[in-house]
A = this chain, B = another copy of it.
Amino acid sequence: MSVQWPEKVIFCEVGPRDGLQNEPSTLAVERKIALIEGVADAGVKIVEVGSFVHPKAVPQMADTDEVARTFRRVEGVEYRALVANLKGVERAMASGITKVKLTVSASESHAKANLNKTPRELIEGFKECAAFAAAHGMEVSGAVSTAFGCPFEGKVPPSQIREIAGRMHDLGLTELSLSDTTGMANPRQVFDLSSMMIKEFPAVRWFLHFHNTRGMALANIVAGMQAGVVRFDGSLAGLGGCPYAPGASGNIASEDMIHMFHEMGIETGIDLGHIIALAGQLRDWVGHADSAVLKAGTCAELVPLTAAKKQG
């Protein structure tokens, strides 16, 4: 058997949005800006900077306008924000954010529980967002959440994902993410669903977004690469837990993912040491982390032989 690995991958940092959104204490605007500027300086080419949603829905994101207006832009970096409706797109534009992301759950029960609408109704509502964005030269990205499983329904049929992706594609979206919102994906499923989506929608730039809830995130990334996906989301320090499993792991840690890519000889264009420093800083700010590399260090950090004597 043979396996092909990509020469390079594209990494998107979602910590400032997905990582932080469920943190109980609001991180100061200056710190959010430091993270966004830090990852861009480290070489990350796509950064999800926040979400323009109702401040009561996600209090941590109430300051996204201020953050978005203020951070220093790095040439060549895409800054993306989550929006849920036309108001969000307008706020994004007013804050100088030219790329927005619309999310729809693949699961009826998940969509209804969160927003009291069916996935189709949600996508209908996105039409005006896409039209406004097109009229103002903004790019629209999309995400299908619970694509690999819903905590209420279990597995979502691939045909349902395809239908939803098709409707999102029809809105004129340039890129789509398959999001494993609650960490239910497994490598076989990732390979099969990713392969199918790439085949059905070859013009779409596909992203995969994994949570490490059951420890499978890096295994899923490996399977995704084998299906031909080269774009992956991660979150500094592994922030962003699962709301249905308190205490469980959150998004896959950016530093763990980038470390794996580099160990495999896959280019990211990112300075791993810089990312690890930022992850450590964020851990100190929020008081927790879920990151193997923050605990163990990288594979490249060798131990002086004298240390071995102490181990006996």
Give the interface of A toward B (CB within 8 A). Answer: 1, 3-5, 57, 109-110, 113-114, 149, 151-154, 183-184, 186-189, 191, 195, 212-219, 221-223, 226-228, 242-245, 247-249, 253, 256, 259-260, 263-265, 292-293, 295-300, 302-305, 307-309, 311-312
Decide: A244 and B213 in contact? CB cutoff 8 A. Answer: no
Residues of B with C-beta under 8 A to A302: 151-154
Whether A309 contacts B187 by the Cβ 8 Å rule is no
Q: Do B184 and A308 touch (CB < 8 A)?
A: no
Q: Chain B residues near A247: list those with CB within 8 A.
A: 295
A-B contact pairs, 14 of them (CB 8 A): A3-B191, A3-B226, A109-B308, A114-B311, A151-B308, A184-B299, A189-B263, A212-B215, A212-B292, A215-B217, A215-B256, A215-B260, A219-B219, A244-B303
Q: Which residues of B contact A221 (CB under 8 A)?
A: 219
Q: Tell whether A311 pairs with B243 under 8 Å between CB atoms, given A249-B292, A264-B188.
A: yes
Number of copies: 2
A201 to B34, CA, bound (A): 53
B215 with A293: CB separation less than 8 A: yes
CB of A244 within 8 A of CB of B295, answer no
User: CB within 8 A of A298: which of B113, B153, B214, B295?
Assistant: B214
Identity of the chain B residue whose Cβ is nearest the Cβ of A213 in the assembled complex: B296
The answer to whether A292 touches B154, judged by C-beta atoms less than 8 angstroms apart, is: no
Residues from chain B with Cβ under 8 Å of A189 in the complex = 263-264
Contacts A3-B223, A187-B264 supplied; 8 other A-B pairs, CB < 8 Å:
A3-B191, A57-B312, A114-B308, A152-B303, A183-B299, A189-B263, A214-B260, A222-B222
